[in-house]
Amino acid sequence: MSSASDGPHRHPGEPAGRGAGARLWAYLRGQERPPGPFRPEFWRSPLRGPWLTSVFGLVLLAGLPLVAITGLISYAAYDPRLPGNDITPEKGLFGFYLFDWPTSPVWLYRVTQGVHVILGLTLVPVLLAKLWSVIPKLFAWPPTGSPAQTLERASLLLLVGGAVFEFVTGILNIQLFYVFPFSFYPAHLYGAWIFLAALAVHVAIKLPRLVTSLRSRSFRRELRTSLRDTRPEPPDPDGLVAAAPAPPTISRRGLLAFVGAGSLTVLGLSAGQTMDGPWRRTALLAPHGRYYGPGPNDFQVNKTAASVGVVAAETGPEWRLTVRGARQVRLSREQLLAMPLYTYRLPIACVEGWSTEQTWTGVRLTDLARLSGADGGAGVYVRSLQRGGVFSHVSLSAGQTTDPRSLLALRVNGADLSLDHGFPARIMVPNAPGVHNTKWVRELDFRAPP
Ligand SMILES: Nc1nc2c(c(=O)[nH]1)N[C@H]1C(S)=C(S)[C@@H](COP(=O)(O)O)O[C@H]1N2
Ligand SMILES: [Mo]
């Protein structure tokens, strides 16, 4: 077929010594494939094929919608319709499904956000394996064909681009690399919708092929097939199966085990951040959970007081809580401690996936509302000593404000709050996302928003 002088990428019948310009023209017109990855012979793994791709596809089809739905739930949990909570001002139509985030069950956000982050991380190896299995298609030549083909490739671009964008921004965010030149929340939200739309198109196009491909081989038999007996899948119209497969160096079950082990490793090293007790120590992939801060409150700190510029002078004996309702009241910490105190076990569940349940003691928000001549029915606008930043204030809904378990917490686990956990006082609302449990509170405003 090709002699030594032909070079590795010459097609049969290609005239030798043709000008580079003519060759480029032939590539561009789609008459000829450019060398390297654009030629089918380049891709030699004997494992690639529609069955393998479909196995990874099925896992993603089961998992990614759950990641997406819990993500959309997380956005709703932020209550972005309340004044000041809107982290995505340009949400437009994307806010169509928002609803009042409930206070019960208290563990709901802990579960949905834990699933969002931990399942998302666990699917990373599967996503990479799936992309690996279809990579020859990235180099299909000519890049566009019939209108239907062009449309399909465009949707794939959005699908792969959307998935990669969501995973990269999500992982950077939970690893606290806030390196984006844009705001994470709107970008991650828009990316999700682009990805979901592309996924819907992709599933509509590919579902029949997914089913026939999965039926083409027995999963159980594949798990019993050793390297020695591993053969390529039969040639397929999509060109996933290598045209000139190399001898296998790993069996299909070996590859599945490798990907599965990768997922289980990620799961095992990150799930602990959602658990209390000794398991938390296993979350080696989680950035939080190592630093508990000074003081007796034995659980992780998100932002320390120092890191957000809250200084000891503001939190000392001079500190007063301002409560605004029909009238304005100012209270010292001693006066708050003299009010009826209630104790509840409530979780802190951070958007970044970690969570913990602790025993909080404090004054009911409804009691404070009443003290100022309000009833909490207008919700409450909370201001922190922290100046600036999205977490320096929060709006809580009427339902959150009037829940008897919603506290201005003064103590945790029987001890005064440590400075890093929000001393002198912090918000604790059942089932609220962690960000809404504002620390270092200086003002509660129960008046109806203007
Ligand atoms: N003022 C203020 N309150 C805040 C934050 C903050 O950065 N500033 N972080 C929030 C976030 S994102 C979480 S998850 C919880 C964490 O509480 P902890 O640090 O006591 O564990 O506090 C919330 N309250
Ligand atoms: Mo958080």
Q: How far is the CA of 244 from the centre of ligand 1 (A)?
A: 57
The 3-class SS string of 50-111 reads HHHHHHHHHHHHHHHHHHHHHHHHHHHHCCCCCCCCCCCCCCHHHHCCCCCCCCCCCCHHHH
User: Do 129 and 253 belong to one domain?
Assistant: yes
Read off the pTM.
0.92
User: Do 33 and 182 belong to one domain?
Assistant: yes
Residue 13: the pLDDT is 47
User: Domain for residue 153, yes or no?
Assistant: yes
Going by their DSSP bridges, the two strands 380-384 and 426-428 should be labelled as: unpaired
Q: How far is the CA of 441 from the centre of ligand 1 (A)?
A: 11
List, in order, residues 6 or more apart from 313 with CB less than 8 Å away.
none
List, in order, residues 6 or more apart from 273 with CB less than 8 Å away.
280, 283, 286, 288, 289, 353, 354, 355
Residue 293: the pLDDT is 65
Q: How far is the CA of 302 from the centre of ligand 1 (A)?
A: 5
User: Do 244 and 328 belong to one domain?
Assistant: no
- Residue to substitute in 280, 350, 439 for testing ligand 1 pocket (most ligand atoms within 8 angstroms of CB): 439
Q: How far is the CA of 170 from the centre of ligand 1 (A)?
A: 19
Residue 175: the pLDDT is 83
User: Domain for residue 374, yes or no?
Assistant: yes
List, in order, residues 6 or more apart from 353 with CB less than 8 Å away.
113, 114, 116, 117, 118, 174, 270, 273, 274, 286
User: Domain for residue 286, yes or no?
Assistant: no
- Strand partners for 384: 441
Q: Whose CA is nearest to atom 6 of ligand 1?
A: 391
Residue 291: the pLDDT is 63
Going by their DSSP bridges, the two strands 441-445 and 321-324 should be labelled as: parallel
Q: How far apart are CA 386 and CA 305, in angstroms?
A: 8
User: Do 226 and 327 belong to one domain?
Assistant: no
Q: Which of 216, 238, 268 is the last residue of a domain?
A: 268
Domain that holds residue 420: 306-445
User: Do 383 and 431 belong to one domain?
Assistant: yes
Ligand 1 closest atom vs CA 299: 21
User: Do 161 and 78 belong to one domain?
Assistant: yes
Residue 290: the pLDDT is 59
User: Do 159 and 60 belong to one domain?
Assistant: yes
Structural domains in the chain (count): 2
Which residues in 304-364 belong to E strands, given as ranges?
321-324, 328-331, 342-349, 355-364
**Ligand (nearest to CA of 429):** 1
Ligand 1 closest atom vs CA 293: 19
User: Domain for residue 427, yes or no?
Assistant: yes
User: Do 238 and 330 belong to one domain?
Assistant: no
Tokens 């996924």: give the residue: 199
Residues of the chain falling short of pLDDT 70: 1-17, 288-291, 293-295
**Ligand (nearest to CA of 390):** 1
User: Domain for residue 300, yes or no?
Assistant: no
User: Do 262 and 310 belong to one domain?
Assistant: no
Q: Whose CA is nearest to atom 11 of ligand 1?
A: 435
User: Do 75 and 125 belong to one domain?
Assistant: yes
343 burial (CB, 10 Å; 0-12 / 13-18 / 19+) is: middle
Ligand 1 closest atom vs CA 386: 1
User: Do 253 and 310 belong to one domain?
Assistant: no
Q: How far is the CA of 420 from the centre of ligand 2 (A)?
A: 14
**Ligand (nearest to CA of 389):** 1
Angle CA(139)–CA(145)–CA(146) in degrees, nearest 5?
Answer: 145
Residue 144: the pLDDT is 81
User: Domain for residue 358, yes or no?
Assistant: yes
Q: How far is the CA of 434 from the centre of ligand 1 (A)?
A: 6
Q: Which of 212, 245, 268 is the last residue of a domain?
A: 268
| Ligand 1 neighbours (beta carbon < 6 A) | 300-303, 308, 348, 350, 384, 386, 391-392, 421-422, 434-435, 437-440
Ligand 1 closest atom vs CA 439: 3
Which CATH number is 438's domain given? 3.90.420.10
Q: Which of 211, 245, 268 is the last residue of a domain?
A: 268
User: Domain for residue 176, yes or no?
Assistant: yes
Q: How far is the CA of 300 from the centre of ligand 1 (A)?
A: 10
User: Domain for residue 323, yes or no?
Assistant: yes
User: Do 253 and 317 belong to one domain?
Assistant: no
